[in-house]
């Protein structure tokens, strides 16, 4: 098994195959991360161009180092992927031939304790993908949101069975002193669950931390906006590939792709008009057993691909 701290691109061969990469074309990586996927795309387009987006400044620094080893036909942009269409238009790019979105939080983000993403390290509660963002942090949410709002976040975004109990204990805990660190929150979560739950496989704080990260970064709304803005950018035969890691994201991608690819009008109407997109894979693509053994973080990954006809 690989070192857990090593960043390994998930579903790499499936993404490269699925994007149907052609030299001389324009490709966009909306979630550049550490540049693992983009590096392989760039190798295949010496006469094309790659545009890479990330809202994490640290990720941009690291990815540039990786991309430099392949070529110079790339441009990196510090922005959330919901802004990608407008940013590309400002650069004179109105159509592209391939788009990638990898919605996993990168390994380094989890492994850098000071970002506050991980329940495995003690750090200040933050969880902003873009540290310069003015959005409320996890600390702000945990220490100011109402019982009802916290319960809804944990239930809807984390699918956490004990959402109300966790929210209730947060309210009680912060009445005595602010909940400042990840460890503070982990202890409250542990005390909010019965022993039978704590004995189960997996960390008891995983779902709550996921829910907070989604809320802090407005991830589900941003994902839907980004998909609806970016899909129309595709040229004919252009493809968009999206990797998700949890059911809420996958549901949105599945719905948006299906809505783009279904037939317009009543199926009984012989004059119905087909939409201009098709699902490349009707059955979701998941990692091989070998990949899961090599990279535990790939376990829940799902890949969906849509093509413009």
Whole-angstrom distance, CA of residue 35 vs CA of residue 8:
10
Length reported for the chain: 309
What is the CATH superfamily name and number for domain 136-217? Putative methyltransferase TM0872, insert domain (1.10.150.170)
**What is the reported pLDDT for 221?**
95
- State which residues of the chain have pLDDT below 50: 1-5, 107
Backbone angles phi, psi at 29, to 5 degrees: -105, 110
Whole-angstrom distance, CA of residue 248 vs CA of residue 254:
10
**What is the reported pLDDT for 121?**
81
Apex CA 15: angle with CA 14 and CA 17, to 5°? Answer: 65
78 CB-near residues (< 8 Å, 6+ apart)? 53, 54, 55, 57, 60
**What is the reported pLDDT for 4?**
42
81-123 confidence digits (pLDDT tens): 999 999 999 999 999 999 999 998 754 555 556 666 788 888 9
Whole-angstrom distance, CA of residue 32 vs CA of residue 116:
20
Extended strands (E) in the chain: 26-29, 49-54, 74-78, 96-102, 234-244, 277-279, 302-308
Location of each CATH 1.10.150.170 domain in the chain: 136-217
Helix (H) or strand (E) holding 155: helix 147-158
pTM beyond 0.85: yes
**What is the reported pLDDT for 271?**
57
271 CB-near residues (< 8 Å, 6+ apart)? 265
What is the CATH superfamily name and number for domain 12-108+220-308? Vaccinia Virus protein VP39 (3.40.50.150)
Location of each CATH 3.40.50.150 domain in the chain: 12-108+220-308
133 CB-near residues (< 8 Å, 6+ apart)? 55
208-227 confidence digits (pLDDT tens): 999 999 999 999 999 999 99
């Amino acid at each position: 098994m690989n070192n857990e701290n090593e960043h390994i691109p998930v579903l790499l061969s499936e993404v490269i195959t699925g994007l149907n990469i052609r030299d001389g074309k324009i490709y966009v990586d909306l979630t550049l991360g550490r540049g693992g996927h983009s590096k392989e795309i760039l190798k295949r387009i010496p006469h094309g161009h790659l545009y890479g987006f990330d809202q994490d400044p640290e990720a941009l620094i690291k990815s540039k180092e990786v991309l430099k080893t392949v070529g110079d036909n790339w441009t990196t942009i510090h922005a959330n992927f919901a802004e990608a269409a407008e940013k590309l238009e400002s650069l004179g790019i109105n159509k592209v031939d391939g788009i990638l979105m990898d919605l996993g939080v990168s390994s380094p983000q989890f492994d850098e304790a000071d970002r506050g993403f991980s329940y495995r390290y003690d750090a200040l509660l933050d969880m902003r993908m873009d540290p310069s963002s003015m959005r409320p942090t996890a600390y702000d949410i945990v220490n100011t949101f109402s019982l009802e709002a916290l319960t809804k976040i944990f239930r809807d975004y984390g699918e956490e069975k004990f959402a109300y109990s966790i929210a209730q204990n947060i309210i009680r805990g912060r009445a005595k002193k602010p909940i400042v660190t990840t460890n503070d929150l982990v202890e409250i979560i542990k005390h909010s669950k019965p022993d039978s739950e704590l004995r189960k496989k997996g960390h008891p704080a995983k779902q709550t931390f996921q829910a907070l990260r989604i809320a802090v970064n407005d991830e589900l709304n941003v994902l839907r906006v980004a998909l609806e803005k970016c899909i129309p950018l595709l040229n004919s035969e252009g493809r968009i590939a999206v990797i998700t890691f949890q059911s809420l994201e996958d549901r949105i991608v599945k719905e948006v792709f299906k809505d783009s690819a279904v037939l317009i009008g009543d199926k009984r109407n012989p004059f119905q008009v087909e939409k201009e997109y098709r699902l490349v894979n009707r059955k979701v693509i998941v990692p091989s057993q070998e990949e899961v053994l090599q990279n535990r973080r790939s376990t829940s990954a799902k890949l969906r691909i849509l093509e413009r006809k």
